[in-house]
A and B are shown apart, each in its own frame.
Chain A
């Protein structure tokens, strides 16, 4: 190859990187605008809603909360108490003890006065068998509670057991250690009930970070900004993702994921598609994609809804090791889901699901870390070859950095204009400061975890969930 050919190749590469970055920024801008419109609409629509009647009504639809637990003995009793304190009338709680090796079951039996009952499971979805069996409380105060002890099969398997056992039309699948606000169920059930022309198959909610928050008796008392920079940065990241990203996808009916920490599913459809996939580590995304695919294939109008209220609070990783492990798993989950459902991508048969949502996830979520790393390697080579035009490089770097800071600030504004949860003095400046620091303190680790996720997916097939060590939320 002569010098001119090399130059042409380099030029094409430059334009490809530039085009990708430009489209990426443009998509963020468009999504922010759509998200703003959707949030305003949501707030208007809900500003005069009387939730009281739904809350106390015995004719409101029944919901089952399914909460899988594995070795959660440290906080299981308090966590279950929190789940039982919801204000909604028609709901029950099924705790699936997924073959825990600790004394979770014994603790639950003692705390809630449980006794074994005769029960037969209609195994519409194949799961690991029961171990000690099914337990209900002798105390009428805990009549909503059912504890199922089964052989270990992983989170997806435990959720499938819950889907088999539940008799209700809707199931709320949540992480047992999440703190659910008391009005969470009535707000989350609303999209299912208010739609008349399309079938709502799932609803997701915002997940907020509860590290350093004060929790008393299963209730959120005081919201604080955590001290650790890593956790603070994740707060900002969650604000961006949930308030700017998912809200927009909800308006476009293009949501591909509902957080496994808290989401409500139409049980009939969840069972019709075969429940959660036990072979993936991204079961929360995979089931939504499969449910959507099913609805497209049977040609029934549907919607995956999303509400921005801060209803579910969870503990975020506070060490880089755990954080990387979590993001590694998220990456593998995304790859697995997109690969499994690759038939959907760019397929007009699946409408906007196939032509917009899937391609967006593939190009701007799945491929983003890979393209970024290729870009970094390419840039390093150019430095070595002394081929860098520094006036270009510096100006574009500064532009990209300022855009990312501004985007985070927009997310902060979105939070302040809607829910204004971080009320304490000084928090606003801390969040702005974080916007400036986050590209350096969080993003490199996200990138590293994503690359590790890719590596593990292709070269380390044995790797599954990894460990998520929880310290428990601050309870007083």
Chain B
């Protein structure tokens, strides 16, 4: 009693700043104690969750595999399948269990095709999982909407089109991208029409995913890409150029030639790439004429094309660039010369007058 009274008196006599420091210290100390205690509870909770996840995952995997293999008709459910749906409907009330069931379904969707995937879709409808996904679209959080769209994409829910397509101009690019992927995953090339009036950039990340999605389909009948090659959105043009290259769009030649004079360098370089892929010799002649007006990157790209399509009549052009200041063009010119006129290449390499990079000559000589 005397000690505590002494402490109180001592504290009261301290300068204000020290009092404040002690109060802060006490608050910090208390916070540390509380956080330490809570850490134990929190870690135990996480461990329990992990264990439950493993347990439920095994359980649900078994049930869903039984569900899938117990009938061959995806449209008609047998009693066993109905019992499984009923059993799982109860589990769906818990958000964490719903999450596990969806992740198991995702994995199964990746492994099965045809009727099996139709069966999964039926399950998705009958259990009411679709309602949870559609409810996500009404959420005010952008990431919940994006998650909902992603889920409906994975389960091929064409019927959600009207609910989802309205997000194509969403202010968050994550939501827009999820919508774009939904459209292409479900409506293939027809889903690409969002490009018609896309006025925000299409990231390379999404472009890769769209191209990868399109390549998975058996039906490779592509729609008209011409309008996209004339788009005012540079990323749309770049994407259309990739489509032209992958799907051999020979009919867009004039647009490609026009793109050679586009203000964006990346587009010009890609146009050279596509032209050389599609039209070969014809493209080569056009580019050869304009060679000096090309940027260094374009010139390197052109020499890459020339290496594949060179003919003896190109020799004077190649010779002109044997001493180009750029290493890559110099090397390519030398390689091309060797392929069309070995004697001239040998003369060049032996010539005492030449001040050519001897290491490069030796390298080209050996290959």
Does B125 count as interface, using CB distance less than 8 angstroms? no
Chain B residues closer than 8 Å to A54, beta-carbon distance: 205, 208-209, 212
A197 to B203, CA, bound (A): 9
Report A439 CB to chain B, min CB distance, Å. 13
Our pick among A193, A398, A409, A425 for the contact of B205 (Cβ within 8 Å) is A193
Is A440 part of the binding interface, using a Cβ–Cβ cutoff of 8 Å? no
CA–CA, A423 and B53, complex, Å? 14
Besides A48-B147, A399-B28, 12 more A-B contacts (Cβ < 8 Å) are A54-B208, A54-B209, A59-B208, A120-B360, A193-B208, A194-B204, A195-B203, A196-B202, A395-B25, A406-B28, A406-B35, A432-B36
> Contact at B150–A405, with CB atoms within 8 Å?
no
| B36 interface neighbour in A52, A57, A409, Cβ under 8 Å | A409
| Residue B50 is within 8 A (CB to CB) of chain A in the complex | yes
B363 and A118 contacting across the interface, CB-CB below 8 Å: yes
Which residues on the B side are within 8 Å of A56 (C-beta)? 212
Q: Is there contact, CB below 8 Å, between A61 and B204?
A: yes
CB–CB A50/B36 < 8 A = no
State whether B331 touches A57 (Cβ < 8 A). no
- Does residue A37 face the partner (Cβ distance < 8 Å to B)? no
Interface membership of B158, Cβ < 8 A: no
With A57-B212, A59-B211, A190-B205 as known contacts, state yes or no: A118 contacts B367, CB within 8 Å: yes
Interface residues in A407-444 by Cβ distance below 8 A to B read 409, 412-413, 416, 420, 423, 425, 427-429, 432
CB 8 Å contact bits of B1-40 with A (1 = contact, 0 = none): 0000000000000110110011011001101100110011
Within 8 A of A (CB), among B177-203: 178, 200-203
- Tell me, yes or no, whether B174 is within 8 Å of chain A by CB: yes
Residue-wise interface mask of B (346-367) relative to A, using a CB-CB cutoff of 8 A (1 in contact, 0 not): 0000000000000110010011
Question: Across the interface, do A391 and B28 meet the contact criterion of CB distance under 8 Å?
Answer: no
Residues of B within 8 A of A319 (CB): none
A-side interface mostly: helix
Bound Cα distance A416, B367 (Å): 56
Return chain B residues, CB-CB under 8 Å to A427: 43
Q: Give the distance in Å from the alpha carbon of A196 to the alpha carbon of B246 in the complex.
A: 23
Q: How far is the CA of A476 from the CA of B49 in the complex (A)?
A: 29
B42 touches A416 (CB 8 A): yes
- Mask: chain A, 26-58; 1 = CB below 8 Å from B; 0 = not: 000000000000000000110110101110110
Is the Cβ of A413 less than 8 Å from the Cβ of B205? Answer: no
Using an 8 Å CB-CB cutoff, how does the interface string of B133-161 with A read, 1 for contact, 0 for none?
Answer: 00000000001001100100000000000
Closest beta carbon of chain A to B296's beta carbon, Å: 12
Q: Tell me the bound Cα distance from A395 to B213 in angstroms.
A: 63
Q: Known A57-B208, A409-B36; judge A399-B21 contact (CB<8 A).
A: yes
The chain B residue with its CB closest to the CB of A52 is B110
A413 touches B35 (CB 8 A): yes
The 8 A-B pairs of least Cβ separation, nearest first, read: A196-B201, A193-B205, A402-B28, A120-B363, A53-B212, A193-B204, A44-B143, A194-B205
Nearest residue (CB) in B for A431 is: B39
Contact of A45 among B28, B143, B206, B359 (CB under 8 A): B143
Asked if B39 and A413 make an inter-chain contact with CB atoms under 8 angstroms apart, the answer reads yes
Interchain CB contact (< 8 A) of A402 among B29, B36, B366 = B29
- Tell yes or no: B262 within 8 A of A by CB: no
Instruction: Tell me whether B14 and A122 are in contact (CB under 8 A).
Output: no
Q: Provide the bound-state CA to CA distance between A395 and B21, in Å.
A: 6
Minimal beta-carbon separation of B7 from chain A (angstroms)? 13
Q: Is the CB of B203 within 8 A of A420?
A: no
Q: Do A193 and B43 touch across chains, with their CB atoms under 8 A apart?
A: no
CB pair A391 B208 closer than 8 Å: no
Q: CB distance A432 to B235 under 8 Å?
A: no
Q: Does B307 contact A (CB under 8 A)?
A: no
- Verify A402–B35 contact, CB threshold 8 A: no
- Measured between beta carbons, the chain B residues less than 8 angstroms from A120 are 331, 359-360, 363
B148 (CB) vs chain A CBs: closest residue: A48
Q: In the complex, which residues of chain A have a beta carbon less than 8 angstroms from the beta carbon of B205?
A: 54, 190, 193-194
B residues within 8 A CB of A59? Answer: 208, 211-212, 242, 246
- In the assembled complex, the Cα of A420 lies from the Cα of B44 at a distance in Å of 12
Q: Please tell me if A320 contacts chain B, counting CB pairs below 8 Å.
A: no
Asked if A405 and B143 make an inter-chain contact with CB atoms under 8 angstroms apart, the answer reads: no
The complex places the Cα of A50 from the Cα of B203 at a distance, in Å, of 15
Give B199 Cβ to nearest chain A Cβ, in Å.
Answer: 12
Q: What are 22 pairs between A and B in contact, CB < 8 Å? A: A45-B143, A47-B147, A48-B147, A50-B150, A50-B209, A53-B208, A54-B205, A57-B212, A61-B204, A120-B363, A122-B328, A193-B203, A193-B205, A391-B14, A398-B25, A402-B32, A406-B31, A406-B32, A409-B39, A413-B35, A423-B50, A428-B43
Q: Give the chain A neighbours of B203 by CB distance below 8 A.
A: 193-196
Most B Cβ at <10 Å: residue of A47, A124, A399:
A399
Contacts of A403 in B (CB 8 A): 28
In the complex, whether B46 has a CB less than 8 A from a CB of chain A is yes
Interface members, chain A 356-402 (any B CB < 8 Å): 391-392, 395-396, 398-399, 402
Taking a contact as CB atoms under 8 Å apart, the answer to whether A197 and B143 are in contact is no
Contacts of A61 in B (CB 8 A): 204
B348 CB, min distance to chain A CBs, angstroms: 16
Near A by CB (< 8 A), chain B positions 79-138 give 110
Taking the closest CB of chain A, its distance from the CB of B10, in whole angstroms, is 9
**Please, how many angstroms separate the alpha-carbon atoms of A290 and B331 in the complex?**
30
Cα–Cα, bound, A119→B31 (Å) = 63
B208 and A429 form a contact (CB under 8 A): no
Chain B CB within 10 Å — which of A53, A396, A423 has the most?
A53
Q: Is B47 interfacial (CB 8 A cutoff)?
A: yes
**Nearest opposing residue in chain A for B328, CB measure:** A122
Which of B15, B212, B246 has the most C-beta atoms of chain A within 10 angstroms of its own C-beta? B212
Once A53-B212, A118-B366, A423-B50 are accepted as A-B contacts, the answer to whether A48 and B39 lie under 8 Å apart by CB is: no
B147 / chain A contacts, CB cutoff of 8 Å: 47-48
Q: In the complex, what residue of chain A is closest to B234 when comparing beta carbons?
A: A196
| B327 part of interface (Cβ distance < 8 Å) | yes
What are the residues of chain A within 8 A of B328 when measuring CB–CB?
A: 122
Question: Which residues in B have their C-beta under 8 angstroms from that of A119?
Answer: 363
